[in-house]
Structure 1
Amino acid sequence: MTHDVPLPPRTGLPTSDERLRAALRYAQGGAEQPGAPFGPPGRAMITGLAALALHCFAAAPSLLDLDRIDVLVPELGEPLGPGTRVPLPSGCAYTSAHLVRTRIVPEPEEITGLPVAPVPRALADAVAQSADAEEVRGLLTEAVRGGHCEPQPVVRELTRARLLGLPHVADAVESLLAEGRALTEGLLYGMVFGQGLPDPCWNVELRVPGGPHLGAVDAYWPDQAVAVEIDARSPRAGAEAAWDACTHKRESLEQFGVTVLHVTPEKLREAPAQQAAVVRTALMAAAEQPPAEYVAVLPR
């Protein structure tokens, strides 16, 4: 639920910091004094396009170009405006503070001394206010391409906000997931070559000769019957069915003696050496295992 709160105009040109602090003070009922730290954590935080600008999104307008500041506030608890008018810094002219109410308050990040919503939540609040397909696509793509966050938490927030039913958002999410997939595959390539692992077969399907299809994997070492699969499931509709299919595929491969290792984008990015050690251990352990049944390796 959102609520637009007009802030009284004043003379002079405000700085971005003054606009942000005034909006936060209004959302907090005027309890904070100019220059004082904002708190307690989670009570109110900058969100939407203003938050994305603070997170240094190139696709977000500059703070001075925004005609309002979105502020995330709890839906339950003490009333948070409209109510008390808040003294604004002298010499400032404001348009409005846009209060976005939520039952689930994320942990804010501190940027320039201000509480700011994390990127996934800020994206959801920005997308909720935009019907521009290109703007939405640009913001979501930059989130992943710019290394701000993984696709999964973004999709989770969009799902929670019930935005995936909008065609322009659904299309942008498909691009987001494709972008995330390509970047994660690049991380997997970097891990294999950077950590000195043997060269696998990339992006292949495994099949019983003359029999059923067993499943596709991202990397496969046929001599050791070790497969690596990127775990990049997103919390969308049908996620439970996708999980069941993933479990079935793993069980089918293991019945034929194939060891299946799952890696996540986060682990590939943050701990590639550790993930490479897991793969290397599986490759070495294969020499001590009974030979796996032969499976055909086909291009995906």
Structure 2
Amino acid sequence: MITGLAALTLHGFTGAPSLRTLDRIDVLVPRGRRLRSTGCVHVVRAQQLPEPVEITGLPVAPATRALADAVAQMTDAGVVRRLLVEAVRGGHCEATAVVRELTQARLLGRPHVVDAVDTLLAEGRALAEGLLYDMVFRYRLPEPCWNVDLRLPGGTHLGGVDAYWPEQAVAVELDTRVPRHGEDARWCEYARKREALEGLGITVVHVTPAKLRASLEQQAAIVRTALMTAVEREPAEYVTVLPR
């Protein structure tokens, strides 16, 4: 299957060059195949091949894999950054999926790739927050307190949430975690925060960018159900709500 820059062009990346200007076409093949690069065709070997997608009748690597294979050949930080951001902004793939593919390709040891990933994650976070705002207003949910820190009256910090409805004690948290170094520690911190909030009677609704993108109405229904059933639950402990 076609991968790398040629595949990104076929996927519709505006930041990728036209096929006519490429002097190299990367083709992904199983590691055991005895094939050699020839002319403009460059063989890229893989232990396991992803499921290809068909574009204009050609087998093409998924956007995440094509992106990783393209980035592996690049040294220009600006170009890498633009392609990674376009992957998310253009709806080609989720930021977490991109980082996972770059990790598997062992590209996160390159400084210019790490810098681009930081920009990618910020972009993915901003897009997810925009979808969350859109969900609340499009489906006419009550206005929450946005991006707040929750604390006990004595000052103990409970953690930040992306949206909070104080009267119903319902919190929404975007999960934009990615599989990077230290992820286990971040997961433990996330789990402790959720456990502490739920122990105080606060309902925590966990959403991911992928869920928001795929089923905004369904996520709105989940939040609405949590708000409506608040009267059936024991009153939550009082917490202080502060901007973060």
Settle same-fold status: TM greater than 0.5. Answer: yes
Give the letter aligned to residue 183 of structure 1.
L
SS of 1:191 mapped into structure 2: helix
Distance, in Å, in 2 between the alignment partners of 1:282 and 1:232 is 22
Say which SS state the counterpart of residue 115 (structure 1) adopts. strand
Letter in 2 for 1:116: V
Residues 1:52 and 2:12 aligned together: no
**Alpha-carbon distance in structure 2 between the residues aligned to 1:75 and 1:183:** 37
Amino acid in structure 2 at the alignment position of 1:268? L
Q: Is the 8 A contact 1:73 1:80 kept in 2?
A: no
Distance 1:80 1:243 in 2: 43
Q: Secondary structure at the match of 2:167?
A: coil
How far apart, in 2, do the equivalents of 1:100 and 1:209 lie? Answer: 59
| Alignment RMSD | 1.2
Matched, 1:81 2:81: no
The answer to whether the 8 Å contact 1:225/1:258 transfers is: yes
> Equivalent residue for 1:214?
158
Question: Which protein has the larger Cα radius of gyration, Structure 1 or Structure 2?
Answer: 1
Match of 2:64 among 120, 126, 142: 120
Alpha-carbon deviation of 1:102? 0.8
Task: Tell me by how many angstroms 1:140 deviates.
Answer: 0.3
The correspondence of residues 26-45 of structure 1 with structure 2, limited to 5 A, is 45=1
> Equivalents in 1 of 2:166, 2:34: separation in Å?
61
Shift of 1:151: 0.4
Alignment partners' CA distance in 1, 2:68 and 2:152: 44
Q: How far did 1:233 drift?
A: 1.3
Q: How does 1:257-272 map to 2 (within 5 A)?
A: 257-272=201-216
Alignment-mate amino acid for residue 50 of structure 1:
A
Indicate the residue corresponding to 1:158 in structure 2. Answer: 102
**Maintained 8 Å contact 2:36/2:43:** no
Alignment deviations for residues 181-223 of structure 1 (CA, whole Å, 9 cap, x no partner): 0000000001011011000000001011123110100000000
Please give the alpha-carbon distance, in whole angstroms, between the structure 2 residues aligned to 1:54 and 1:80: 26
Letter in 2 for 1:73: V
1:128–1:163 Cα contact (<8 Å) kept:
yes
Determine if the alignment matches structure 1 residue 68 to structure 2 residue 24. Answer: yes
Residue type of the partner of 1:106? P
Q: State the distance in 1 between where 2:172 and 2:36 align.
A: 54
- TM-score scaled by structure 2? 0.97
Report if aligned partners of 2:28, 2:43 keep a CA contact under 8 Å in 1.
yes
Give the conservation status (yes or no) of the 8 Å contact 1:121–1:157: yes
For 2:40 and 2:222, the matched residues in 1 are separated by 53
User: Partner letter of residue 151 of structure 1?
Assistant: A
Match of 2:171 among 227, 248, 268: 227
Q: Specify the code of the residue in structure 2 equivalent to 1:81.
A: L
Point out 4+ residue stretches in structure 1 off by more than 6 angstroms. Answer: none
Equivalent pairs: percent with the same residue? 68
Q: How far is the alpha carbon of 1:55 from its aligned partner?
A: 0.6
Measure the CA separation in 2 of the matches of 1:72 and 1:239.
Answer: 30
Paired position in structure 2 for 1:106: 50
Q: State the alpha-carbon separation in 2 of the partners of residues 152 and 175 from structure 1.
A: 13
TM-score (norm 1): 0.79
Contact 2:3 2:69 (C-alpha < 8 Å) held by counterparts: yes
How many Å separate the matches in 2 of 1:80 and 1:66? 25
- Residue 228 of structure 1 deviates from its aligned partner by 0.3
Query: Are 2:124 and 1:180 equivalent residues in the alignment?
Result: yes
Distance in 1, matches of 2:65 and 2:181, equals 19
Work out the CA distance in 2 between the residues paired with 1:49 and 1:288: 55
Q: Is the helix fraction higher in 1 or 2?
A: 2
Mapping of residues 131-210 of structure 1, within 5 Å: 131-210=75-154
SS state of the match for residue 164, structure 1? coil
**Counterpart residue type for residue 98 of structure 1:** H
